[in-house]
Amino acid sequence: MKINAAAGRWRHWCVRALEVSIAACLALMAVLVFGNVVLRYAFDSGIAMSEELSRLLFVWLIFLGAILASVQHVHIGFDALAGRLPLGARKALVLATGALMMAACGMFLVGGWKQTRINLGNSYPVLGISYAWLYGVALVFGAAMLGVIAHNIRQALRGPQGPHLTKDLGERILDKMPDVAADPHDGDRR
């Protein structure tokens, strides 16, 4: 029981770290791009590193967002066929697609490692940091997704109703209903 509680806390903090990192990337990108536009049109100057840093942050934002979407089961999924299959076939399909996704994660790890090593000596012209920061996101993504996919497969195969790896919009709304129902101003409307 303590292991499940510790794993739940670990998962919570990992998800929170992803959310904060994504929000920080987005906020910094917005400030850099908006500031650069204002400076360029109002003062005929600009922030030299804005373009390079915004591009780097955008790449990290996308890959961290993909990890977060997979953790929260809100990525795009097509389950029209899987929903019509018997339970055993759905489980086999989850295992097969999970194995393919894990193989793709392996490709991200191998390719990301090679590109990171190749680009260690190459630097951004203005930022002056190594291009390894750009390609290193493939390593983070591949490793994190391997863990997330393994966890999602385990959860899907152990679920009482069979495998469910995505949540449709209706399920997400129902998940949020307790938050809406607990509105403190609800009694004031009478």
For the segment 55-64, the average pLDDT, to the nearest whole number, is 95
Q: Global pTM?
A: 0.77
* Overall number of domains in the chain: 1
For the segment 136-146, the average pLDDT, to the nearest whole number, is 95
In terms of Cβ atoms closer than 10 Å to its own Cβ (0-12, 13-18, 19+), residue 45 is exposed
State the residue range of the domain holding 125. Answer: 2-176
Give the position of tokens 């290193």: 136
Say if 63 falls within a structural domain. Answer: yes
- With cut-offs at 50, 70 and 90, classify the pLDDT of residue 171: low
What pLDDT does 190 receive?
A: 45
Say if 51 falls within a structural domain. Answer: yes
Say if 185 falls within a structural domain. Answer: no
Say if 182 falls within a structural domain. Answer: no
Say if 9 falls within a structural domain. Answer: yes
- With cut-offs at 50, 70 and 90, classify the pLDDT of residue 82: confident
Sign, CA dihedral 138-158-74-76, equals positive
Say if 181 falls within a structural domain. Answer: no
